[in-house]
């Protein structure tokens, strides 16, 4: 089966030519990480840089996937080619009502042109390190093969998720009534990274309270100078993704934010920030791997057991390991 073992550059060219299967294979490799993922990133790099990257975050159950489905339908209808990377394990886009929407979206496209949207759920395998590495690569790949916009859906709980969304061109934070979401978002640092707020489930009571709370918090952050750099105040858009209300306004605000980035010449700053975030994540991962490797090396094991037997202090053992770690050695193994 020659197909099964197609080399990566061939898969990449096929994906660029619109072959969905090839793109799917590449995404699986990106997810796994390692040398093949790096090779894909290097291939994609020169072709990437055209897509509007939009991060959408919020608590589990806020309605992110429902909203994303609506946006994808709109974007396809408008002739765009949206890709979605869903790193939200709580409601994968492969399930339930969302799947129904998706089939409809895909079937609604001209089969001769192939499907216009590509939706992919990314397994996080329970460790956030993998996520921080795989997401930028998957986004780059979507961008390089011609998808625009690239939407990342992620739960806004951990630092990695906040980082991922904060590194997008446009960061959308989804809130809902009655969960103290505005306060939670503030705690999670989402107020700082948000370019746009969506109060979803506006069909439910309390939506106006959320809008008011948010608005007050934005006033406060304005007073502390956060908006003063560019004069941009993140708008608050009311929506009911389930009922199909407000999603048009959401995308209008997303587009307006992109226009703001272009007007103020700050899109390149986002791009630089994204690269820094990616390089830092890779660096931290490499150092973490090196630390594990060092600890299981013969001399590392020795220093470690000395510390375990309380012959030396843990600080001493750490210093020794660090010295070995930072020293280029000829040791092979």
Ligand X SMILES: Nc1nc2c(ncn2[C@@H]2O[C@H](COP(=O)(O)OP(=O)(O)O)[C@@H](O)[C@H]2O)c(=O)[nH]1
- The site string for Mg ion over 89-128 (x = CB under 5 A, - otherwise) reads --x-------------------------------------
Residue from 41, 66, 73, 117 touching ligand X (CB under 6 A): that is 66
Cβ atoms of 121 and 111 within 8 Å: the answer is: no
Residue from 201, 211, 247, 257 touching ligand X (CB under 6 A): that is 201
Nearer to ligand X, 129 or 206 (CB): 206
Of 262, 57, 78, nearest in space to 176 by CA: 57
- The site string for ligand X over 86-105 (x = CB under 6 A, - otherwise) reads --x-xx--------------
Q: CA–CA separation, 94 vs 208, rounded Å?
A: 32
Nearer to Mg ion, 88 or 143 (CB): 88
Residue 291 burial class via C-beta count within 10 angstroms: exposed 0-12, middle 13-18, buried 19 and up: middle
Binding of residue 264 to ligand X (CB under 6 A): no
Nearer to ligand X, 33 or 92 (CB): 92
Order across the sheet with 196-199: list the strands: 118-121, 83-87, 150-155, 53-58, 170-175, 196-199, 236-238
Cβ atoms of 170 and 254 within 8 Å: the answer is: yes
Segment contacting ligand X by CB under 6 A, of 24-32, 62-70, 213-221, 313-321 = 62-70
Joined together, the tokens standing for residue 39 give 């090779």
Nearer to ligand X, 240 or 320 (CB): 240
Q: CA–CA separation, 117 vs 253, rounded Å?
A: 21
Binding of residue 124 to ligand X (CB under 6 A): no
Give phi and psi for 149, each to the nearest 5.
Answer: -80, 165
Binding of residue 178 to ligand X (CB under 6 A): no
Closest distance between ligand X and the C-beta of residue 205, in Å?
11
Cβ atoms of 153 and 68 within 8 Å: the answer is: yes
Closest distance between Mg ion and the C-beta of residue 307, in Å?
45
Q: CA–CA separation, 317 vs 92, rounded Å?
A: 44
Binding of residue 57 to ligand X (CB under 6 A): no
Binding of residue 70 to Mg ion (CB under 5 A): no
Footprint of ligand X on this chain (CB under 6 A)? Answer: 58, 60-66, 88, 90-91, 200-201, 203-204, 240-242
């Amino acid at each position: 089966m020659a197909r099964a073992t197609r080399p990566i550059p061939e898969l990449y060219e096929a994906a660029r030519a619109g072959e969905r299967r090839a793109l799917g294979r590449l995404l699986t490799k990106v997810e796994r990480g390692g040398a093949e993922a790096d090779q894909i990133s290097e291939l994609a790099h020169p072709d990437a840089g055209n897509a509007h990257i939009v991060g959408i975050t919020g608590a589990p159950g806020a309605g992110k996937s429902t909203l994303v489905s609506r946006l994808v339908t709109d974007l396809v209808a408008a002739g765009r080619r949206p890709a979605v990377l869903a790193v939200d394990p709580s409601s994968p886009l492969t399930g339930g009502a969302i799947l129904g929407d998706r089939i409809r979206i895909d079937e609604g496209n001209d089969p001769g042109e192939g499907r216009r949207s590509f939706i992919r759920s990314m397994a996080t395998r329970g460790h956030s390190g993998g996520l921080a590495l795989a997401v930028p690569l998957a986004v780059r790949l979507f961008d390089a093969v011609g998808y625009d916009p690239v939407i990342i859906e992620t739960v806004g709980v951990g630092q990695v998720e906040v980082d991922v969304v904060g590194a997008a061109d446009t960061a959308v934070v989804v809130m809902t009534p009655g969960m103290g979401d505005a306060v939670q978002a503030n705690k999670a640092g989402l107020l700082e990274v948000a370019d746009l707020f969506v109060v979803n489930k506006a069909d439910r009571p309390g939506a106006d309270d959320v809008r008011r709370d948010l608005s007050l918090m934005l006033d406060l952050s304005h007073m502390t100078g956060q908006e003063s750099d560019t004069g941009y105040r993140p708008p608050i858009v009311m929506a009911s993704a389930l009922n199909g209300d407000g999603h048009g306004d959401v995308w209008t605000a997303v587009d307006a934010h992109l226009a703001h980035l272009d007007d103020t010449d700050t899109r390149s700053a986002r791009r630089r920030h994204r690269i820094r975030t990616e390089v830092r994540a890779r660096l931290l991962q490499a150092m973490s791997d090196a630390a594990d490797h060092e600890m299981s090396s013969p001399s590392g094991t020795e220093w470690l057991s000395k510390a375990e037997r309380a012959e030396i202090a843990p600080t001493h053992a750490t210093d020794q390991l660090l010295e070995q770690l930072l020293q280029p050695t000829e040791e092979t193994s």
